[in-house]
Amino acid sequence: MTYPIEQLTALAKANLDLSLRLTEIARTRSQDVFQTGSKAMNDLIARTRDPGIAGDRPNLAAGTSKVIEEIITDTKDAIEKWQRSWVEAMVTDRGKALEAYSSLLGFWSNLGQVPTDRAKGKTGQAENSTEQS
């Protein structure tokens, strides 16, 4: 099956955009995780040096869980955009796509069946040969 160059270009661009977006998510969100961990560790170190510091203990889990939720949301959005790009590139004309799909199904459903005209012709010839004998 051959594809027009426009479709191949659109698919390559969609794949490139997805990889760039996932790389950006990994880079920015990992920085957020490191900053959250650094802040929590600095607070913990300050408390061990001066036990008189008042306030809540640093909550590393809350900060990292927020970043993880953002990673999941951003990744989901990037994948959904990638899927929409693939659909737009592959299905340019819905009528043609449905026609191609139905012709493929028709081919597979008729596979192994003998067309009725040919079947009648063969049985007719067989009957004629037995009558002549």
- Residue 37 contacts residue 64 (beta carbons within 8 Å): yes
The predicted structure's pLDDT at residue 34? 86
The predicted structure's pLDDT at residue 1? 47
Average pLDDT of the chain?
75
Does the pLDDT at position 128 exceed 60? no
Domain-wise residue ranges, the chain: 1-92, 94-133
The predicted structure's pLDDT at residue 67? 86
Residue with the bigger pLDDT between 25 and 4: it is: 25
The predicted structure's pLDDT at residue 8? 81
User: Which run of H or E residues covers position 113?
Assistant: none
Question: Which ranges constitute the DSSP H helices of 50-115?
Answer: 60-90, 94-110
Does the pLDDT at position 117 exceed 60? no
The predicted structure's pLDDT at residue 21? 95
- Distances in Å between the Cα of 61 and the Cα atoms of 29, 58, 131 are 15, 9, 91
The share of the chain scoring above pLDDT 90, in percent, equals 20
Minimum mean pLDDT range among 41-50, 106-115, 122-131: 122-131
Stretch 99-109: mean pLDDT: 63
